[in-house]
Amino acid sequence: MPSIVAHDVVCMGGVRLASGMPADRTTDAASARELSADLYRVVAVVVVVIGHWLVSTVTFRDGQFGNDYPPDVLPWTRWLTLLFQVVPVFFLVGGYASAVSYTRWLGAGGRHWSDWLRSRLAAILGPITAYVGLALAAVAVLERVGVERSALRFGGWAIAMHLWFVPVYLVVLTLTPVAMAAHRRWGLLVPAVLAIAVALVDIAARAGHLPVITTANYLLCWGAIYQAGICWRGGALAGRRPLLIAAGGALVLATLLALRCYPISMVGSPGATEQNNFPPTAALVSFAAVQGGLLVAAAPAVTRRLRRSRWRRQVAAANRHVMAIYLWQMVPVVVVALVGYPTGLLPQPEAGTGAWWLFRLVWLLILTVVATVQMTLLWLARAVFDRALPTFATTLPVWSTAGLLIAGVAMATFVLAHVAVEGFAPDGYFPSAYALLYVAAVGLVSLAPSRRRTKELMASRHSAQTGG
C-alpha cells in the first residue's frame, strides 16, 4: 500500500500505526521484515495491471464502445489465467501484514481494537477516497458538458470494475481481531474449515438451485486466504507444510477441472454463466492453495536473497505505491480509448490475427507511457492522493464510535461493491445516491473518541463501583 503520512510508523509495506497510537520501538524490526511479502505484492500488482491491459481489447462500432474479451473470443487463452490470477497473493500478504501490525500494536500497549482498525482503514480508504472523489467529479463535469451517455457509461465502468477487490478486503480487514483470536485457538484449522465451507456452499447451491447463496463465498474464500496469511505470520506454515498444502491443492484442482466441475478460467468473464471468480468457487480456493503454498515455501529463500540484493530498496519503494498503481491502472485505458477509437486513430484488427497480436504489444507500450505520466502527476500531488483519512475527535465514548466505525465500513463496502459492478456512471448518469452514501461512510470511519472524555467516563465508572 502507498506511503500515507510522514508521522506514521511503517511496520511493513502497507502496515502502519497511526500517530496517537502506541508505537513499536523494536530496533531489529528491519532485520525481521519478511521481504518476500513485499516482492510478492509488487510482482502481483504488475501482473494484474498487465493482465487487465491485455484483456482490454476495446472496440468502437456504431457509436458504441465494447470489448472483445480474449478468453471468450480465443478460448485457449483461458489457460493463461492460471498465470494471471494473482489476487490471492494480495489477500495472503494482506493477512500476514495485518497480523504483524495487530501483534505489534497489542504488544506496545494497544487497548481497544477499534483504534487499530480505524488507523488501518484510514490508511487504505484515504487513497481510495481520493480516487473515488476525482472519478465522481469527472463524471459530474463530463455529464454537465454533454458527453455522450455511452462513452460516459463505458469510461465510468472501466475505471471502477477492478474495485471489486476493495469491499471484500475491507470486510476481512475489519474481522482481523476475530481472525487473530481464532488463529491463536485453532491455527490452521480455521482456513481449512473456511475452504471446506466454500465447497459445501457450491454443492448446496447446485443441488438446491440456489445460486444466491454463493455470495457467501466472497467472505469464505478470500477470508480463508487472508487467514492463511495470518497463519504464515504465526509460524503455522513452517517446514514442509506449505508444499504439502500446495500438492493437495494441485490434486484437488486437477480433479475438479478434469471432471469439468468448474471452468478452467480463473478470472472473471463478463456475462459468463459459470466462472470461478464472481463469486469464488472451490476451484479458486484450490488454486489459491497451490499458489500460496509455493510462495510461502519459497519465502525464506526469497527473503535471504533480497537482503543481499541491491534491488532491496527498489522493491521497498515499489511496495509503498502498490495501492496507487492498483487504483489508477485503468485510467490510461479509458483515456487512450476515448481519444483513439472514436477519432479512428487506433486500429481495430480482427481478434486472433497477427495484426491483432502485434497491436496488443503496441497497446501495452502506449498505456505504459500514459501511465508513467499519470503516476508522475500523482507523485507531484501526493499530498492529496497519498494520505490517510483525517480523524475527528468526538465527545462520544469508545464503544459508540466503534459501532459507528463498523457502520461506516458496511456503508463503504455496499457503495464500492455496487460501483464495481455498475461503474461510476450507471447508464451514463451521475450516481448521486451512492456519492452521498459514500461521503457518509467516510465520515463515520473518521470519527474517533475523545481520549479525555473516555478517561473521564472510566474514572467515573471506577468511582461508582468503589463507592468513592
E strand or H helix that includes residue 19: none
In three state form, how does the secondary structure of 137-178 look?
Answer: HHHHHHHHCCCCHHHHHHHHHHCCHHHHHHHHHHHHHHCHHH
In the three-class reduction of DSSP (H, G, I as helix; E, B as strand; rest coil), residue 16 is classed as strand
Give the range of the structural domain holding residue 352, as residue numbers without chain letter: 9-389
pLDDT digits (tens, 9 = 90+) for 130-150: 999 999 999 999 999 988 888
Asked if residue 254 belongs to a domain, the reply is: yes
Asked if residue 238 belongs to a domain, the reply is: yes
Asked if residue 358 belongs to a domain, the reply is: yes
pLDDT digits (tens, 9 = 90+) for 66-104: 888 888 888 899 999 999 999 999 999 999 999 999 999
120 or 17, greater pLDDT: 120
Asked if residue 457 belongs to a domain, the reply is: no
The closest alpha carbon to 282, from 233, 322, 249, belongs to 249
Residues in the chain: 468
Location of C-alpha cell 477509437: 341
pTM of the model: 0.88
Asked if residue 253 belongs to a domain, the reply is: yes
Asked if residue 427 belongs to a domain, the reply is: no
Q: Dihedrals φ, ψ of 447, to 5°?
A: -75, 125
Check whether 382 has a pLDDT greater than 90. no
First to last CA, the chain: 49
What lies within 8 Å, CB to CB, of 323 at 6+ separation is 1, 2, 14, 124, 127, 128
Check whether 29 has a pLDDT greater than 50. no
In the chain, % of residues over pLDDT 90: 68
Q: What is the pLDDT of residue 274?
A: 83
Asked if residue 414 belongs to a domain, the reply is: no
Asked if residue 436 belongs to a domain, the reply is: no
| Most confident option among 211-225, 258-272, 302-316 | 211-225
Number of domains in the chain: 1
CB 353: neighbour CB atoms within 10 A?
10
Check whether 346 has a pLDDT greater than 70. yes
What's the Rg (C-alpha) of the chain?
23
**d(C-alpha 102, C-alpha 177), whole Å:** 8
pLDDT digits (tens, 9 = 90+) for 170-197: 999 999 999 999 999 999 999 999 999 9
The closest alpha carbon to 288, from 341, 246, 340, belongs to 246
Q: Dihedrals φ, ψ of 136, to 5°?
A: -65, -40
pLDDT digits (tens, 9 = 90+) for 454-464: 454 444 444 44
Check whether 20 has a pLDDT greater than 90. no
The closest alpha carbon to 40, from 267, 293, 388, belongs to 293
Buried b (16+ CB within 10 A) or exposed e, 221-258: bbbbbbbbbbbbbbebbeeeebeebbeebbebbeebbe
- Report whether 229 contacts 94 (CB < 8 A): yes
